[in-house]
């Protein structure tokens, strides 16, 4: 009878250790991994409860204390992982916001570029037309004949040509300045756009790296360590039991 009890005790111990190995090696497939924690802890407590409640085992106080200590530790560690995952949710939202900001930055830059181009084309078109009109006026004045006795003297013609020449020179300078100003405005806009976009891309890359690090089950080493510690506690308990029997 005693020999049969010993065999049953060994089977219980082996089954318990096998279950603890299985729980320690268990990997959670999908994030959020914390959604698996409660079920895992329930299964762990169930394995230990079945072991301790068996009359053939007779767990002593030292084992109970060590088991409580190990369970408290792994629960604290898993609580820390839950907190990490709540932070991960915030980072995931921040990443989404940054990606939207990139899209908005591109859209705003495109709209502002179109507006600069529209203003540039309109102003250059007006100045070019003004230059063309002045050149025609100059040609018309140049083709006009002067008369000493008529209403249009050489002096008046020369004066009119000089006025048009001055206006033409001024308008050409305005055109040149407008082209340069629009180029500078576009360059400034592009520099600011690149600066904002580069800063946002850097933030996106940092967030992506942080999120990627949390996409693996970082709780597994803590759970495995807890199960190994429990197996060690069982073996130590069995050693004490052997010495006293």
pLDDT by residue (tens digit) across 47-101?
999 999 998 888 899 999 999 999 999 999 999 998 888 888 889 899 999 999 9
Across all residues in the chain, what is the average pLDDT?
90
For residue 111 the two structure tokens come to: 């709209």
For residue 36, give the DSSP letter. G
Cβ-contact 33, 216 below 8 angstroms:
no
DSSP one-letter string for 140-160: HHHHSPP-SSSSS-HHHHHHH
What number is the average pLDDT over the span 161-189?
A: 95
Give the total number of structural domains in the chain: 1
Q: Which domain holds residue 135?
A: 2-244
């Amino acid at each position: 009878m005693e020999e049969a009890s010993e065999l049953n005790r060994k089977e219980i111990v082996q089954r318990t250790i096998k279950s603890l190995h299985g729980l320690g090696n268990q990997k959670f497939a999908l994030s959020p991994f914390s959604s698996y924690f409660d079920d895992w802890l329930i299964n762990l407590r169930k394995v230990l409860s079945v072991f301790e409640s068996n009359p053939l085992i007779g767990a002593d106080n030292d084992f109970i204390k060590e088991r409580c200590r190990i369970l408290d530790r792994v629960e604290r560690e898993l609580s820390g992982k839950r907190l990490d995952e709540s932070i991960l949710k915030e980072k995931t939202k921040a990443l989404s916001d940054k990606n939207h900001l990139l899209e908005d930055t591109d859209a705003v830059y495109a709209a502002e570029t179109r507006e600069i181009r529209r203003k540039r084309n309109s102003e250059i078109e007006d100045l070019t037309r003004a230059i063309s009109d002045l050149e025609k006026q100059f040609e018309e004045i140049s083709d006009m004949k002067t008369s000493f006795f008529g209403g249009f003297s050489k002096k008046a013609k020369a004066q009119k040509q000089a006025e048009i020449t001055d206006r033409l020179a001024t308008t050409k300078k305005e055109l040149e300045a407008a082209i340069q100003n629009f180029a500078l405005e576009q360059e400034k806009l592009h520099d600011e756009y690149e600066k904002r976009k580069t800063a946002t891309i850097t933030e996106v890359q940092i967030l992506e790296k942080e999120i990627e690090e949390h996409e693996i089950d970082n709780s597994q080493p803590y759970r495995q360590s807890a199960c190994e510690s429990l197996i060690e506690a069982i073996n130590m308990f069995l050693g004490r039991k052997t010495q006293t029997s």
